[in-house]
A and B are shown apart, each in its own frame.
Chain A
């Protein structure tokens, strides 16, 4: 790695215009609430639905203390969260993309202005369901683990 001295052609400016601050704060509030709560809800739902997974995740986190460095070592917990997000992506509309240049994808020609909607192959559940907790013990442990990763 080498640090380049900046010159006018390659330098990247990092600043936010004063007018952009309220917009970005609003983004923080809107984007964080639904995504985090939906991800946590689906994690809880998956744990309740698959008791064997619950055991494995519990084993992975039960003997460890929780801090920012340790959380990276919890590989099974990481896999569990990733798999849950693969099955239940939290924001479909944010994943949709617009084509800005004509291009050909797998013999399909997609034109500028078209929008692409992505969907995962598994059946999707609606967000509104009631969770019946079989045991709160593990969920509480998981939440403590998520404390650091949030």
Chain B
């Protein structure tokens, strides 16, 4: 009877010590920090405010230009000091070349990633490959296509500007930016694709909020030690939903179970990439440029060095 009780007491004491130690990071470094909640850090406040940036601004007014917060267990330095930022982004950039990790990007060593999440040698390889996508000739071709979208945008703007009450310009800009990038990426603008672009746009709007505000993302922030478990479960449940949706209905747009917009988009893009139909391919599109550099596997580039 005595030994299990002692065991439980030891576990509780260890947990308390562990949590206290975790949240004492900024205190030990003599960096000011707002009042800490020992379960959530500052996550609860950051999630409850309407504007993340304004909350950071309020803390800046209170604690000065450099202070620390905890997003769950993750210690975050917040700075608006120009000298500090100069040191980070220029002088010590080699120590800060990675972006802020999120649930799905925390463990990307073995997985397939895009340029934004890539690290080290993968980042370097992809970054070099991207150079050939934006040669002057390709940019010139792109600008021709951009003009079509801008003309359409201007026509809509003229229509709206006649109303005296004012209007919200953000959706118009979003549509413009999205149409431009879709046209560049797929190089295909028949009616079916335009209908598809509109669905893509609506999916794109919900992407980041959906993944990073969910229950699993919160657990991931609170217990980063179990991060691979959470991300795998997240991917698994989404894969199951996608499978069920395909099983119930062949129609891509009406889904019974809600898939994460990012994964839905990914699936849709993957189908477009694997499409063997060569008739509708546009050689100027980003997709075709990617295909061409992926075929020329491992082509070495001559290094240009300053003499």
Residues of A within 8 A of B (CB): 1-6, 10-37, 40-41, 44, 68, 92-94, 96-103, 105-106, 108-110, 113-121, 123-124, 126-128, 130-133, 136, 139-140, 143-144, 147-148, 150
Question: Are the C-beta atoms of B100 and A105 separated by less than 8 Å?
Answer: no
* Segment at the interface with A among B7-15, B88-96, B236-244, B248-256: B88-96
B39 within 8 A of A: no
B174 within 8 A of A: yes
Question: Are the C-beta atoms of B169 and A41 separated by less than 8 Å?
Answer: yes
Question: Are the C-beta atoms of A100 and B112 separated by less than 8 Å?
Answer: no
Indicate which residue in B74, B98, B161, B291 contacts A136 across the interface (CB closer than 8 Å): B161
Indicate which residue in A13, A32, A123, A131 contacts B298 across the interface (CB closer than 8 Å): A13
Question: Are the C-beta atoms of B299 and A15 separated by less than 8 Å?
Answer: yes
Q: For the complex, give the distance between the alpha carbons of A102 and B99 in Å.
A: 16
Within 8 Å CB of A139, what residues of B? Answer: 157
Residues of B contacting A: mostly: helix
Given known contacts A14-B129, A121-B80, A128 and B100 CB-to-CB distance under 8 angstroms: no
Question: Are the C-beta atoms of B302 and A120 separated by less than 8 Å?
Answer: no
Question: Are the C-beta atoms of A23 and B112 separated by less than 8 Å?
Answer: yes
Given known contacts A15-B293, A26-B262, A28-B286, A10 and B303 CB-to-CB distance under 8 angstroms: yes
Within 8 Å CB of B94, what residues of A? Answer: 101
Given known contacts A26-B262, A28-B286, A115-B77, A1 and B116 CB-to-CB distance under 8 angstroms: no
Q: How far is the CB of B283 from chain A (nearest CB, A)?
A: 16
Question: Are the C-beta atoms of B125 and A143 separated by less than 8 Å?
Answer: no
When C-beta atoms are compared, the residue in chain A nearest to B297 turns out to be A15
Given known contacts A13-B128, A21-B294, A27-B115, A117 and B56 CB-to-CB distance under 8 angstroms: yes
Question: Are the C-beta atoms of A117 and B204 separated by less than 8 Å?
Answer: no
Within 8 Å CB of A118, what residues of B? Answer: 79-80, 85, 88-89
When C-beta atoms are compared, the residue in chain B nearest to A100 turns out to be B98
The 8 closest A-B pairs by CB, nearest first: A132-B166, A96-B100, A36-B177, A23-B114, A37-B173, A14-B128, A32-B181, A11-B300
Indicate which residue in B113, B157, B287, B298 contacts A20 across the interface (CB closer than 8 Å): B113
